[in-house]
Structure 1
Amino acid sequence: MPILVPPVLPAGALARLPQPVIPAADGLLLRPWRKEDAPGVHAAFQDPAQRQWHGRFSESVDEVEGWIERWLDDWTEESRASWAVADADTGEVVGRVALREIHLEDGCAEVAYWTVAGARGRGVAVTATGALTRWAFEEIGFHRLELTHSTANEASCRVAAKSGYDLEGTRRSYVLHQDGWHDMHLHARVNVS
């Protein structure tokens, strides 16, 4: 069957290049993950607040090394793209920002993020989300980026709003967390350039 609408982004739009380091404001940068980041990620996932919203627990640094390998492979597969949010001077990981559910043909992806407990309240998630959004729109040419979070996660709702993601609606009983089914807010930004 003939295709009437060409893909927004061709296959290879990401994988044709090495995963970039993306400069961000406030002394942060987004960089590809490194094996030596595993202890910091493991520590971040011991935090009960992290597990509450992400439904994941790390039993060991070795397990996180496997996560990092997967995150790096995702780039070449163009299924997801994940960056360490790091202090530009020290290299210390203060969070993660990612594109999930990448659909190149539609020019769409979902933005996800987390920060380590010690970095919360400092605007790290907003800064990282803003840098990733600019890169995805201006450098790659994505058309639409979505961001979802539990309606009970007020901090994530503030990050979405401060990052310019408009609230479009609520997906009822959409994600199962440890404490049951959660309604999820759907926020989005559209590339108008």
Structure 2
Amino acid sequence: MTRALSTPPVIVPGSLGSSPQPVLAAPGGLLLRPWAEADVPAFLAAYQDEEIRRWHTRRPSSETHALEWFQAYRQDWAREKGGHWAITRDGEGAVGRLALRGLDFDDGTADVAYWVLPAARGAGVAPHAVGALTAWALEDIGFHRLELDHSTRNHASCRVALKSGYLLEGTRRSAAVHEDGRHDMHLHARIRTD
């Protein structure tokens, strides 16, 4: 069933999924690229890190499970549901993850999510990667608004959001479940005119 809109979509459906997922360059020698089978060890290791486990309740449990996630990531791109990138440095293996999820082409909105491996923290990896993805999504693709949320207890993620130009808009009370119970979530956003 086709639904009629009173306004045209902000982004034309088919404009992403009809092309391969792009590789994006970011400052600091970073490259954002689709996940590959060779990334499985780093991906699994990430979910053994205490900080990543604290804030991410969905976790792969095996190599097979990780490969299934990578396949789902490719399907998300083809179906225009999301994009998932490995953050790499100087052509080496993955040092982090970046995702653009919940793509809404009608309103031109999407959500940003990320994590960085312990060895790469404190070097600007997350802000540089988020900045590169944000520029691509807002300027090249034409999204109007990108949102980023995190637990109010996750101070490092709040710093990344602010360094990446995502303004704090408010607190979503009891909005997410973590291992230690429900958390309030800070909502940050960037819009094309920021």
Partner residue in 2 for 1:71? 73
- 1:41-60 equivalences in 2 (<5 Å): 41-60=43-62
Which of 36-45 and 158-167 deviates more? 36-45
Q: 2-11 or 44-53, which moves further after superposition?
A: 2-11
Deviations 1:165-191 (A, max 9, x none): 000000000001110000000000000
Other-structure match for 1:29:
31
Match of 1:14 among 13, 16, 20: 16
Mapped to 2, the partners of 1:53 and 1:181 lie a distance apart of: 11
**What corresponds to 1:98 in structure 2?**
99
Change (3 A) 1:2 1:17: closer
Say whether residues 1:156 and 2:162 are aligned partners.
no
**1:100-156 Cα distance to aligned partner (Å, 9 max, x none):** 111111100000010111111111110100000000011100000000000000000
Identical amino acids, percent of aligned pairs: 53
1:192 Cα deviation from its structure 2 partner: 1.8
| Counterpart secondary structure, 1:105 | coil
In structure 2, the residue matched to 1:174 is 175
| Counterparts of 1:88 and 1:107, CA distance in 2 | 32
Which whole-Å CA distance do the structure 1 matches of 2:169 and 2:25 have between them?
29
1:22-46 Cα offsets, whole Å, 9 max, x none, are 0111010100111111111001111
2:98–2:115 Cα contact (<8 Å) kept = yes
Comparing 129-138 and 61-70, the one that deviates more: 61-70
Q: What is the match of residue 186 of structure 1?
A: 187
Q: Which runs of 5+ in 1 are unaligned?
A: none
Query: With structure 2 as the length reference, what TM-score do the two structures score?
Result: 0.95
Kindly tell me: are residues 103 and 2 of structure 1, through their superposed partners in 2, closer, same or farther at Cα, counting changes over 3 Å? closer
TM-score (norm 1): 0.96
Match of 2:129 in 1: 128
CA contact 1:46–1:57 (8 Å) conserved in 2? no
**How far does residue 59 in structure 1 lie from its aligned partner after superposition?**
2.1
AA partner of residue 15 (structure 2): A
RMSD: 1.3
Whether the 8 Å CA contact 2:31–2:91 is kept in 1: the answer is no
CA drift of 1:2 comes to: 4.8
Q: Is the 8 A contact 2:44 2:66 kept in 1?
A: yes
Structure 1 residues 179 and 7: alpha-carbon distance in aligned structure 2, compared to 1, 3 A threshold: same
The aligned residue for residue 88 of structure 1 is 90
Amino acid at match of 2:154: N
Give aligned pairs, total. Answer: 192
Measured in 1, the distance between the counterparts of 2:82 and 2:174 equals 24
